Structure 1
């Protein structure tokens, strides 16, 4: 039991996907493991898919569900039952970045247009224009299903301006464990290589 708690606290934690906001990358009820080791130093990177605590009012009540009985609660505490009350999105901008939507139909980060092959519908953002400067220690996050994702774009009027504190990040989506037919490691695309100077 102690070992399981240590693993959940410092290394791995199970989560389920509660909504369609990350389709087609993640589907509703996918079960994933999130690894925490990468962020021990707080180094969240553009393109990472992260799980984070609800900054406040981002989740409707039906997506904030937790374990429903004593056995599930015990398993949730040790990281063996998928945890609710969190969100999963892709990191688009990190502290210091300027994110603009949209130039010639493309999202840009620091003036570099992004080619986003993981999107469900590339045209879903073209009418939602914005320009934000991401504060130090914060992230700008968006779902892959841009037409059905209540992400940073829709919380710009909130006290945090739609930006998520790095301290709220639980970890990085690492592997899909269910369903078995789609199980495997979650890879980061080359989308952000130009922004990262590669």
Structure 2
């Protein structure tokens, strides 16, 4: 019996594909990009993108979290001296939080408090100041000694101010050259002010003899009508000073000294 001839093998095109691959490899053509691979940007484009992100982050940080300032005068010596660079944090006063007695705060000029002309930054410094990377001026730095409802009096036999009838020992930070009276007003240690209106603050410099603070905007006892106001609106407060960052050898944290902790919430009856 004759055997049937074998059927020809089915062609699945593998030989052709092999031939095509060999041909492609021989031509030196680039392999196709694998699915899912990302094409990298040129270095110059990546640099611009990163710079843009950094600028946006700097603006956000300045607006909502931290901002740099410099000390414009001698009013906060000895703790802060002229041209010191400080950092101010804004988070403490979010969500209805207000400055506390003893806080060192930076605030906008409420009107005619700044004395003299401060040089404005120029060139690159001006650009950096807009995004919070260079210390700015045009603001004041003082210590909060009175909040809404408080009555401030000057002074007891030791030259200490009284807040709501309680004498306050400010020796941890106040300048030593103030003499007997730590809060001189028009050469007298006999004055009082308050109660402080809602949403307002009474502020003093630590260097009381060299500070044009709330005392400089009080009306004298014999003045019948006065357009001045010693108060700072809490809405003008930029934030609380938390660090001295320059010069480097003076770097330090700035915190509330706690000397007002014993002050009662309300003034004595009759004030």
1:99 to 131, 152, 163: 152
Gaps of at least 5 residues in structure 2 are 1-54, 220-225, 266-271
Alignment match of 1:132 (pick from 165, 178, 193): 193
Q: Is the 8 A contact 1:20 1:149 kept in 2?
A: yes
1:176 aligns with 2:244: yes
Once the two structures are TM-superposed, the CA of residue 160 in structure 1 deviates from its matched residue by 5.3
Deviates further, 30-39 or 52-61 = 52-61
Equivalent residue for 1:70? Answer: 123
Taking the aligned partners of 1:73 and 1:154, their CA distance within structure 2 comes to: 31
Q: After superposition, what is the alpha-carbon deviation per residue over 1:100-128, rounded to whole angstroms, capped at 9, x for unaligned? A: 11122210000110000111135343534
* 8 Å CA contact 2:106, 2:239 repeated in 1: yes
Which of 118-127 and 183-192 deviates more?
Answer: 118-127
Counterpart Cα distance in 1 of 2:102 and 2:153: 16
Moved over 4 A (4+): none
* TM-score normalised by length of structure 1: 0.93
| Match of residue 138, structure 2, among 58, 62, 85 | 85
Q: TM-score, normalised by structure 2?
A: 0.69
Q: Which of these two proteins has the greater Rg computed from alpha carbons? A: 2
- Could you tell me which residue of structure 2 aligns to residue 16 of structure 1? 70
Q: Is the 8 Å Cα contact of residues 42 and 166 (structure 1) preserved in structure 2?
A: no
Displacement of 1:196 after TM fit? 5.7
Residues in 2 aligned to 1:111 and 1:155: alpha-carbon distance in whole angstroms:
22
Q: Secondary structure of 1:4's partner?
A: helix
Partner of 1:37: 91
2:30 match = none
Q: For residues 107 and 184 of structure 1, what CA distance do their matches in structure 2 show?
A: 27
**Contact 1:93/1:139 (<8 A) preserved:** yes
| More strand, by proportion | 1
Given that 2:166 and 2:264 are in contact with CA atoms closer than 8 Å, whether structure 1 keeps it comes out as no
What is the RMSD of the two structures over their aligned residues, measured on CA atoms? 1.6
- 1:116–1:131: structure 2 CA closer, same or farther, 3 Å change rule? same
Map residues 48-63 of structure 1 onto 2, 5 A cutoff. Answer: 48-63=103-118
User: Number of matched residues?
Assistant: 195
